[in-house]
Protein backbone atom coordinates (compact mmCIF):
# COMPACT_ATOMS: atom_id res chain seq x y z
CA UNK A 1 0.00 0.00 0.00
CA UNK A 2 1.60 3.34 -1.05
CA UNK A 3 1.97 6.11 1.52
CA UNK A 4 1.40 9.84 1.07
CA UNK A 5 2.49 12.50 3.57
CA UNK A 6 0.57 15.77 3.31
CA UNK A 7 1.32 19.03 5.16
CA UNK A 8 -1.42 21.40 6.31
CA UNK A 9 -4.30 18.92 6.62
CA UNK A 10 -6.33 20.86 9.19
CA UNK A 11 -8.52 22.43 6.50
CA UNK A 12 -9.01 23.23 2.84
CA UNK A 13 -6.96 21.55 0.12
CA UNK A 14 -4.83 19.46 2.48
CA UNK A 15 -7.86 18.03 4.28
CA UNK A 16 -9.66 17.22 1.00
CA UNK A 17 -6.53 15.62 -0.43
CA UNK A 18 -6.10 13.45 2.68
CA UNK A 19 -9.73 12.30 2.36
CA UNK A 20 -9.31 11.43 -1.34
CA UNK A 21 -6.17 9.35 -0.80
CA UNK A 22 -7.86 7.50 2.09
CA UNK A 23 -10.85 6.74 -0.17
CA UNK A 24 -8.43 5.39 -2.76
CA UNK A 25 -6.96 2.97 -0.19
CA UNK A 26 -3.62 4.67 0.40
CA UNK A 27 -1.89 4.99 3.75
CA UNK A 28 -2.18 8.69 4.59
CA UNK A 29 0.15 10.51 6.95
CA UNK A 30 -1.97 13.59 7.54
CA UNK A 31 0.03 16.28 9.29
CA UNK A 32 -1.15 19.50 10.90
CA UNK A 33 0.15 21.94 13.47
CA UNK A 34 -2.51 20.91 15.99
CA UNK A 35 -3.87 17.47 15.12
CA UNK A 36 -7.65 17.12 15.30
CA UNK A 37 -8.68 13.51 14.89
CA UNK A 38 -12.37 13.89 14.08
CA UNK A 39 -11.98 15.98 10.90
CA UNK A 40 -10.88 12.87 8.96
CA UNK A 41 -12.76 9.57 8.71
CA UNK A 42 -11.52 6.91 11.12
CA UNK A 43 -9.29 4.52 9.22
CA UNK A 44 -6.59 1.98 9.93
CA UNK A 45 -4.72 3.62 7.01
CA UNK A 46 -4.64 7.05 8.66
CA UNK A 47 -1.68 8.32 10.67
CA UNK A 48 -2.20 11.74 12.22
CA UNK A 49 0.96 13.61 13.19
CA UNK A 50 1.79 17.10 14.46
CA UNK A 51 3.98 19.02 12.03
CA UNK A 52 4.89 22.70 11.80
CA UNK A 53 6.89 23.22 8.60
CA UNK A 54 8.78 26.16 10.17
CA UNK A 55 10.11 24.02 13.04
CA UNK A 56 13.03 21.68 12.14
CA UNK A 57 12.49 19.62 15.31
CA UNK A 58 8.83 19.13 14.45
CA UNK A 59 9.75 18.00 10.91
CA UNK A 60 12.35 15.53 12.22
CA UNK A 61 9.90 14.06 14.77
CA UNK A 62 7.12 13.69 12.20
CA UNK A 63 9.37 12.09 9.59
CA UNK A 64 10.75 9.78 12.28
CA UNK A 65 7.24 8.52 13.05
CA UNK A 66 5.88 8.50 9.50
CA UNK A 67 7.82 5.49 8.23
CA UNK A 68 8.65 5.14 4.54
CA UNK A 69 6.70 7.50 2.33
CA UNK A 70 6.15 7.36 -1.43
CA UNK A 71 4.58 10.76 -2.10
CA UNK A 72 5.24 14.09 -0.36
CA UNK A 73 2.62 16.84 -0.73
CA UNK A 74 3.85 20.26 0.37
CA UNK A 75 0.51 22.00 0.81
CA UNK A 76 0.89 24.01 4.07
CA UNK A 77 0.87 27.72 3.49
CA UNK A 78 -0.86 31.02 4.04
CA UNK A 79 -1.42 34.31 2.25
CA UNK A 80 -1.54 38.01 2.95
CA UNK A 81 -3.06 40.89 1.00
CA UNK A 82 -1.08 44.05 1.76
CA UNK A 83 0.36 46.89 -0.31
CA UNK A 84 4.13 46.50 -0.50
CA UNK A 85 4.84 49.72 1.40
CA UNK A 86 2.67 48.56 4.32
CA UNK A 87 3.57 44.91 4.76
CA UNK A 88 4.93 44.17 8.22
CA UNK A 89 8.48 42.78 8.05
CA UNK A 90 7.31 39.98 10.35
CA UNK A 91 4.53 39.03 7.92
CA UNK A 92 6.95 39.01 4.99
CA UNK A 93 9.34 36.84 6.99
CA UNK A 94 6.57 34.41 7.99
CA UNK A 95 5.36 34.11 4.39
CA UNK A 96 8.79 33.03 3.20
CA UNK A 97 9.45 30.92 6.30
CA UNK A 98 6.24 28.94 5.85
CA UNK A 99 5.61 28.87 2.10
CA UNK A 100 9.16 28.76 0.77
CA UNK A 101 11.61 27.68 3.47
CA UNK A 102 9.06 25.30 5.02
CA UNK A 103 8.72 23.58 1.65
CA UNK A 104 12.50 23.48 1.29
CA UNK A 105 12.91 21.97 4.76
CA UNK A 106 10.37 19.24 3.98
CA UNK A 107 12.16 18.48 0.71
CA UNK A 108 15.51 18.20 2.45
CA UNK A 109 14.00 15.81 5.00
CA UNK A 110 12.42 13.52 2.41
CA UNK A 111 14.64 13.64 -0.69
CA UNK A 112 17.55 11.54 0.62
CA UNK A 113 15.19 8.57 1.07
CA UNK A 114 13.61 9.09 -2.37
CA UNK A 115 17.03 9.34 -4.04
CA UNK A 116 18.40 6.26 -2.29
CA UNK A 117 15.28 4.23 -3.19
CA UNK A 118 15.30 5.60 -6.77
CA UNK A 119 11.63 6.48 -6.52
CA UNK A 120 9.05 8.80 -5.02
CA UNK A 121 6.92 11.78 -6.01
CA UNK A 122 7.16 15.36 -4.79
CA UNK A 123 4.11 17.60 -5.22
CA UNK A 124 4.40 21.26 -4.28
CA UNK A 125 1.20 23.30 -4.06
CA UNK A 126 1.81 26.88 -5.20
CA UNK A 127 -0.73 29.22 -6.82
CA UNK A 128 -1.89 30.71 -10.11
CA UNK A 129 -1.24 34.15 -8.59
CA UNK A 130 2.36 33.45 -9.64
CA UNK A 131 1.21 33.69 -13.27
CA UNK A 132 -0.05 37.31 -13.20
CA UNK A 133 1.34 40.59 -11.75
CA UNK A 134 -1.51 41.05 -9.26
CA UNK A 135 -1.41 43.91 -6.75
CA UNK A 136 -1.58 43.38 -2.94
CA UNK A 137 -0.31 39.79 -2.93
CA UNK A 138 3.27 40.67 -3.83
CA UNK A 139 5.17 38.91 -1.07
CA UNK A 140 2.82 35.91 -1.10
CA UNK A 141 3.34 35.66 -4.89
CA UNK A 142 7.08 35.94 -4.43
CA UNK A 143 7.10 33.20 -1.79
CA UNK A 144 5.17 30.86 -4.11
CA UNK A 145 7.06 31.88 -7.28
CA UNK A 146 10.23 30.91 -5.42
CA UNK A 147 8.73 27.46 -4.86
CA UNK A 148 7.91 27.22 -8.60
CA UNK A 149 11.53 28.04 -9.39
CA UNK A 150 13.06 25.62 -6.92
CA UNK A 151 10.65 22.88 -7.98
CA UNK A 152 11.66 23.27 -11.64
CA UNK A 153 15.33 22.90 -10.70
CA UNK A 154 14.51 20.02 -8.40
CA UNK A 155 12.77 18.20 -11.25
CA UNK A 156 16.01 18.34 -13.24
CA UNK A 157 18.06 17.18 -10.22
CA UNK A 158 15.76 14.25 -9.44
CA UNK A 159 15.07 13.04 -12.97
CA UNK A 160 18.16 10.76 -13.09
CA UNK A 161 17.01 9.09 -9.85
CA UNK A 162 13.48 8.30 -11.04
CA UNK A 163 11.89 10.76 -8.58
CA UNK A 164 8.98 12.65 -10.14
CA UNK A 165 8.41 16.29 -9.21
CA UNK A 166 5.24 18.35 -9.82
CA UNK A 167 3.74 21.75 -9.10
CA UNK A 168 -0.01 21.99 -8.50
CA UNK A 169 -1.30 25.52 -9.12
CA UNK A 170 -4.76 26.15 -7.63
CA UNK A 171 -6.84 29.16 -8.57
CA UNK A 172 -8.98 31.30 -6.27
CA UNK A 173 -10.80 29.23 -3.68
CA UNK A 174 -13.14 31.10 -1.34
CA UNK A 175 -14.35 27.83 0.25
CA UNK A 176 -11.19 27.10 2.27
CA UNK A 177 -9.89 28.89 5.38
CA UNK A 178 -7.27 30.68 3.25
CA UNK A 179 -9.11 34.04 3.20
CA UNK A 180 -9.83 33.99 6.94
CA UNK A 181 -6.24 33.00 7.73
CA UNK A 182 -4.98 35.92 5.60
CA UNK A 183 -7.15 38.53 7.35
CA UNK A 184 -4.91 39.10 10.42
CA UNK A 185 -2.09 40.15 8.06
CA UNK A 186 -4.20 42.68 6.16
CA UNK A 187 -2.95 46.29 6.36
CA UNK A 188 -4.00 49.48 4.59
CA UNK A 189 -7.80 49.47 4.88
CA UNK A 190 -7.53 52.70 6.89
CA UNK A 191 -5.46 54.35 4.15
CA UNK A 192 -7.81 56.14 1.70
CA UNK A 193 -5.31 55.70 -1.13
CA UNK A 194 -5.47 51.93 -0.77
CA UNK A 195 -8.98 51.32 0.61
CA UNK A 196 -10.73 50.92 -2.79
CA UNK A 197 -8.07 48.53 -4.08
CA UNK A 198 -8.19 46.37 -0.94
CA UNK A 199 -11.99 46.38 -0.64
CA UNK A 200 -12.28 45.41 -4.33
CA UNK A 201 -9.78 42.61 -3.90
CA UNK A 202 -11.58 41.19 -0.83
CA UNK A 203 -14.95 41.32 -2.63
CA UNK A 204 -13.52 39.59 -5.71
CA UNK A 205 -11.84 36.91 -3.59
CA UNK A 206 -15.08 36.12 -1.73
CA UNK A 207 -17.22 36.08 -4.90
CA UNK A 208 -18.01 32.46 -5.67
CA UNK A 209 -20.20 33.11 -8.71
CA UNK A 210 -17.48 33.03 -11.37
CA UNK A 211 -15.15 30.16 -12.17
CA UNK A 212 -13.39 29.20 -8.94
CA UNK A 213 -11.26 26.40 -7.57
CA UNK A 214 -12.82 23.81 -5.30
CA UNK A 215 -10.83 21.81 -2.77
CA UNK A 216 -11.86 18.70 -4.72
CA UNK A 217 -10.13 20.12 -7.84
CA UNK A 218 -6.87 20.41 -5.92
CA UNK A 219 -7.21 16.92 -4.46
CA UNK A 220 -7.82 15.57 -7.99
CA UNK A 221 -4.76 17.40 -9.36
CA UNK A 222 -2.60 16.05 -6.54
CA UNK A 223 -3.98 12.55 -7.20
CA UNK A 224 -3.08 12.89 -10.88
CA UNK A 225 0.44 14.03 -10.03
CA UNK A 226 0.87 11.16 -7.58
CA UNK A 227 -0.43 8.39 -9.83
CA UNK A 228 0.13 9.39 -13.48
CA UNK A 229 3.76 8.92 -14.54
CA UNK A 230 3.05 11.10 -17.58
CA UNK A 231 1.56 14.03 -15.63
CA UNK A 232 3.15 17.37 -16.60
CA UNK A 233 5.43 19.30 -14.25
CA UNK A 234 2.83 22.07 -13.79
CA UNK A 235 -0.79 21.08 -13.17
CA UNK A 236 -3.50 23.77 -12.84
CA UNK A 237 -6.25 22.91 -10.33
CA UNK A 238 -9.68 24.50 -10.78
CA UNK A 239 -11.62 25.95 -13.72
CA UNK A 240 -10.18 29.45 -13.19
CA UNK A 241 -6.67 28.02 -12.85
CA UNK A 242 -6.95 26.20 -16.16
CA UNK A 243 -8.06 29.48 -17.82
CA UNK A 244 -5.22 31.46 -16.26
CA UNK A 245 -2.63 28.89 -17.24
CA UNK A 246 -3.88 28.93 -20.85
CA UNK A 247 -3.75 32.76 -20.90
CA UNK A 248 -0.25 32.76 -19.44
CA UNK A 249 0.91 30.38 -22.20
Ligand X SMILES: NC(=O)c1ccc[n+]([C@@H]2O[C@H](COP(=O)([O-])OP(=O)(O)OC[C@H]3O[C@@H](n4cnc5c(N)ncnc54)[C@H](OP(=O)(O)O)[C@@H]3O)[C@@H](O)[C@H]2O)c1
Q: Which residues are catalytic?
A: 140
Stretch in the footprint of ligand X (CB under 6 A) among 111-119, 154-162, 172-180, 183-191: 172-180
Stretch in the footprint of ligand X (CB under 6 A) among 1-9, 19-27, 193-201, 222-230: 1-9
Dist CA 107 CA 196 (whole Å): 40
148 binds ligand X (CB under 6 A): no
Angle, nearest 10°, between helix axes 12-23 and 215-227? 50
Stretch in the footprint of ligand X (CB under 6 A) among 4-12, 85-93, 152-160, 194-202: 4-12
Question: Which residue of 153, 177, 191, 195 would you call a contact of ligand X, by CB under 6 A?
Answer: 177
Which of these, 219, 228, 227, 221, lies nearest to 245 by C-alpha position?
Answer: 221
11 binds ligand X (CB under 6 A): yes
Terminal-to-terminal C-alpha distance of the chain: 38
Q: How many CA atoms lie within 13 A of 61 on its CB side?
A: 14
76 binds ligand X (CB under 6 A): yes
Give the nearer residue to ligand X in terms of CB position, either 164 or 172: 172
138 binds ligand X (CB under 6 A): no
Least distance CB 4 / ligand X (angstroms): 15
Give the nearer residue to ligand X in terms of CB position, either 95 or 163: 95
Here the contacts of 44-47 (C-beta below 8 Å, separation 24 or greater) are: 45/1, 46/18, 46/22
Give the nearer residue to ligand X in terms of CB position, either 45 or 148: 148
Q: Give the residue nearest to ligand X (CB).
A: 12
Question: Which residue of 33, 61, 115, 187 would you call a contact of ligand X, by CB under 6 A?
Answer: 33
Distances in Å between the alpha carbon of 26 and those of 3, 60, 66, 237?
A: 6, 23, 14, 21
3 state DSSP class of 74: strand
Give the nearer residue to ligand X in terms of CB position, either 172 or 185: 172
Question: Which residue of 35, 45, 48, 54 would you call a contact of ligand X, by CB under 6 A?
Answer: 54
Residue 88, Ramachandran bin (φ over 0: left; ψ between -120 and 50: alpha; else beta)? beta
Give the nearer residue to ligand X in terms of CB position, either 115 or 201: 201
Specify the DSSP class assigned to residue 98: I
What are the backbone dihedrals phi and psi of residue 98, each rounded to the nearest 5 degrees, phi first? -80, -60
Residue ranges that bind ligand X, judged by CB under 6 A: 7-14, 32-34, 51-54, 75-79, 98, 102, 125, 127, 170, 172-173, 176-178, 181
Amino acid sequence: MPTVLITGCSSGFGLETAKLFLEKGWKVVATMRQPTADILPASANLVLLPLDVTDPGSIARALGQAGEIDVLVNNAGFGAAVPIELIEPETARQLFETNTLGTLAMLQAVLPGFRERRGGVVINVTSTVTLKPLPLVSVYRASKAAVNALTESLAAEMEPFGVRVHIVLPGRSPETSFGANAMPHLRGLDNPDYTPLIEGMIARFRDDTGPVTHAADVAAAVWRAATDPHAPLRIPAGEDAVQWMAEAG
